[in-house]
């Protein structure tokens, strides 16, 4: 299933009172659009992200791209049209060469879209042709004349407030948009209205009040407050620990912390059995709450047989960085009677520095015997403890 996100950012709306359109307003060092873009491009199920921009906003968009956590999935932007509907059609046409199965159409002015909302929409698309996240109307609805005279009360039962991202099967929504354009129908206020007109059945799913749209100056002030609240929550450093053990087996060398050390025995394991890099990989994964080494590289998977463990460690570092985190320092303690670690400490530090792309002075390598006690004392194997400190901001949370 190939999933594309189409972000509509070509609007001119400036009820915020700013000189630039609201999607380029600054929210904590990033534009409103960049916040939305990051959520989609960091989502594991989203393969492609297409943005539609106004031709006059090229410079603003270029600046937005520079602040993204990852640009890997972001396609070159396309120019929008006179109306939102026209911009969506241009975006959908632009995606045709990439053959997506599903497209999530999202308004750039909703920077607080979450991974959970995307998951809900994608999940519902397994049972529906089109999906709209929406909020149930809670307040009593009144109809009034222009002077404020009440004309009546509208029953709120069955009424929902539509949000984005709205999810569609790509072929459905593209042909619906083409048909509407060919009949010069340009009045649809969102894509689900157009889908309804085209007789595509649309389902509503529960959205979140968090996923609000920025329209007015007050919305922007509220968004700043929300970001500040999230920032204070997500500016905290995170720590992780890892522990691993491998037993000795016959052989002539052991791999420890990425360095091969000649020894009278080897360590047994599915990969190269580098107990140091395994513990360190788990420490990094622990710091970002992303499972453990066995989850990402199952020992049952033959492709990791005899694998060099630097692959595991560099993958963990990539996972930290894709979340926006940076690795401050790591500390490793090897528990063994032999081999002696001291002579190899510098080589180990250099190797880990290289794998993690951090400086050597941020890598601690220590070793201790266990005074002849326990399995390490009996020279049955080597154990390792590791700690990693990771600093925010974690962009995926903002």
Minimum Å gap between C-beta 269 and Mg ion is: 6
Q: How many CA atoms lie within 13 A of 133 on its CB side?
A: 27
Percent helix / strand / coil, the chain, rounded to 5 = 35, 25, 35
Torsion of CA 164, 74, 21, 168, to 10 degrees: -20
**For residue 389, what is the enclosing H or E element?**
strand 381-391
Residue 390 main-chain phi, psi, to 5 deg: -125, 135
- Which of residues 278 and 323 has its CB atom nearest to Mg ion in the complex? 278
Asked if 387 contacts 239 with a C-beta cutoff of 8 angstroms, the reply is: yes
- Which of residues 174 and 267 has its CB atom nearest to Mg ion in the complex? 267
- Which of residues 8 and 335 has its CB atom nearest to Mg ion in the complex? 335
Minimum Å gap between C-beta 288 and Mg ion is: 19
**Nearest-CB residue for Mg ion:** 278
Minimum Å gap between C-beta 278 and Mg ion is: 4
Q: Which of 221, 213, 201 is nearest to 106 (CA)?
A: 213
- Which of residues 171 and 290 has its CB atom nearest to Mg ion in the complex? 290
Instruction: Give the interface with Mg ion as residue ranges (CB under 5 A).
Output: 244, 278
Minimum Å gap between C-beta 250 and Mg ion is: 19
- Which of residues 57 and 244 has its CB atom nearest to Mg ion in the complex? 244
Minimum Å gap between C-beta 244 and Mg ion is: 4
How many C-beta atoms lie closer than 10 Å to residue 2's C-beta?
Answer: 14
Q: Which of 104, 109, 101, 103 is nearest to 25 (CA)?
A: 109
- Which of residues 107 and 244 has its CB atom nearest to Mg ion in the complex? 244
Minimum Å gap between C-beta 307 and Mg ion is: 11
- Rounded CA-CA distance 385/377 in Å is 16
């Amino acid at each position: 299933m190939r999933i594309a996100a189409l972000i509509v950012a070509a609007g001119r709306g400036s009820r915020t009172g700013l000189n630039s359109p609201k999607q380029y307003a600054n929210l904590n060092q990033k534009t409103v659009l960049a916040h939305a873009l990051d959520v989609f491009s960091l989502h594991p199920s989203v393969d492609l992200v297409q943005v539609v921009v106004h031709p006059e906003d090229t410079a603003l968009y270029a600046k937005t791209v520079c602040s993204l956590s990852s640009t890997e999935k972001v396609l070159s932007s396309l120019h929008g049209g006179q109306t939102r509907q026209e911009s969506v059609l241009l975006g959908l046409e632009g995606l045709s060469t990439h053959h997506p199965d599903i497209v999530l159409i999202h308004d750039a002015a909703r920077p607080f879209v979450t991974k959970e909302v995307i998951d809900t929409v994608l999940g519902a698309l397994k049972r529906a042709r089109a999906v709209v996240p929406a909020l149930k109307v809670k307040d009593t609805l009144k109809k009034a004349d222009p002077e404020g005279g009440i004309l009546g009360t509208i029953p709120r039962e069955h009424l929902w407030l539509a949000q984005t991202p709205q999810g569609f099967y790509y072929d459905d929504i593209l042909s619906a948009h083409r048909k509407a354009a060919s009949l010069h129908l340009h009045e649809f206020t969102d894509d689900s209205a157009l889908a309804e007109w085209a007789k595509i059945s649309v389902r509503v799913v529960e959205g979140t009040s968090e996923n609000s749209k920025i329209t007015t100056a007050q919305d922007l002030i509220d968004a700043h407050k929300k970001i500040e609240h999230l920032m204070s929550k997500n500016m905290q450093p995170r720590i992780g620990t890892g522990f691993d053990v491998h037993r000795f087996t016959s052989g002539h060398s052991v791999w420890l912390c990425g360095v091969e050390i000649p020894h009278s025995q080897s360590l047994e394991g599915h990969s190269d059995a580098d107990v140091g890099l395994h513990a360190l990989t788990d420490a990094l994964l622990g710091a970002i709450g992303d499972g453990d080494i066995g989850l990402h590289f199952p020992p049952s998977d033959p492709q990791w047989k005899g694998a060099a463990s630097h692959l595991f460690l560099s993958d963990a570092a990539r996972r930290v960085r894709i979340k926006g985190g940076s690795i401050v320092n790591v500390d490793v303690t090897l528990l063994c009677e032999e081999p002696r670690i001291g002579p190899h400490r510098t080589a180990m530090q250099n190797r880990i520095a290289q794998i993690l792309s951090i400086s050597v002075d941020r890598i601690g390598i220590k070793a201790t015997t266990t005074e002849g006690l326990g399995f390490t004392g009996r020279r049955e194997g080597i154990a390792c403890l590791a700690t990693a400190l990771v600093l925010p901001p974690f962009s995926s949370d903002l």
